[in-house]
Amino acid sequence: MSRLLLPKLLSISRTQVPAASLLNNLYGRHKRFVHWTSKMSQDSVRSSTTGGSASGARTFCSLEDLLAKKCVPCNSKDLRPMTEQSAQDLLQKVAGWDLANDNDTLKLHRSWRVKSFTKGLDFFKRVADIAESEGHHPDLHLIGWNNVKIEIWTHAIGGLTENDFILAAKINELQVEDLLRKKKVAN
């Protein structure tokens, strides 16, 4: 950007263009640049959410990217479920989660065994705090008193979006060791 602008700036000042016109010129460029960068980031959200790459925007997303992102509202008309291939690619970033196909709806699953029923409810509370701050919500199950199972999918579109992986990555960051049943070590 600066390499492109500098020669232009120098030639403008050499020809004594009035200051107001120079500022106008710069401001127009700034507006076009801002428009271009915001369009790029929308494309990249849409592309990584849908798994499409027609826009040429990147589809690669690391765990750090997922942790740094915020879930977007699911009521956009542009939102489409990602393909199974994109889901498989992103699944590598969220350790412990599995992909399930529930009547043609892709979902993320993960299970934990907790020490007690009430520890299961404590687990849910920690997950609920993240879900509320992201505005994206998992299905929470407490089965047979100590099996916590979480399913994540985007209800609004009947499939997976990047939101689901962001939420899964953030749930994985929770400190829940104090709630989990210790595995018995075989002698």
Ligand X SMILES: C[C@H](O)[C@H](O)[C@H]1CNC2=NC(N)=NC(=O)C2=N1
Q: Which residues bind ligand X (CB under 6 A)?
A: 73-75, 135-137, 154-156
Q: Which is nearer to ligand X, 155 or 181 (CB)?
A: 155
Q: Return the DSSP state at 174.
A: S
Report the nearest approach of ligand X to the CB of residue 107 (Å). Answer: 10
Q: Return the DSSP state at 99.
A: E
With CB atoms as reference, the residue minimizing the distance to ligand X is 156
Report the nearest approach of ligand X to the CB of residue 132 (Å). Answer: 10
172-176, Cβ contacts within 8 angstroms, sequence gap of 24 or more: 172/94, 172/95, 172/96, 172/97, 173/67, 174/126, 174/127, 174/130, 176/112, 176/123, 176/126
Q: Which is nearer to ligand X, 126 or 137 (CB)?
A: 137
Report the nearest approach of ligand X to the CB of residue 136 (Å). Answer: 5
Report the nearest approach of ligand X to the CB of residue 139 (Å). Answer: 8
| The dihedral sign for the CA sequence 55, 57, 133, 92 | positive
Q: Which is nearer to ligand X, 108 or 148 (CB)?
A: 108
3-state secondary structure 2-65: HHHHHHHHHHHHHCCCCHHHHHHHHHHHHHHHHHHHHHHHHHHHHHHHHCCCCCCCCCCCCHHH
Q: Which is nearer to ligand X, 146 or 172 (CB)?
A: 172
Report the nearest approach of ligand X to the CB of residue 67 (Å). Answer: 18
* Residue 143, C-beta contacts closer than 8 angstroms, at least 6 positions apart: 149
Q: Which is nearer to ligand X, 48 or 161 (CB)?
A: 161
Q: Which is nearer to ligand X, 6 or 156 (CB)?
A: 156
Rounded to 5°, angle at Cα 95 from 91 and 99: 40
Report the nearest approach of ligand X to the CB of residue 160 (Å). Answer: 10
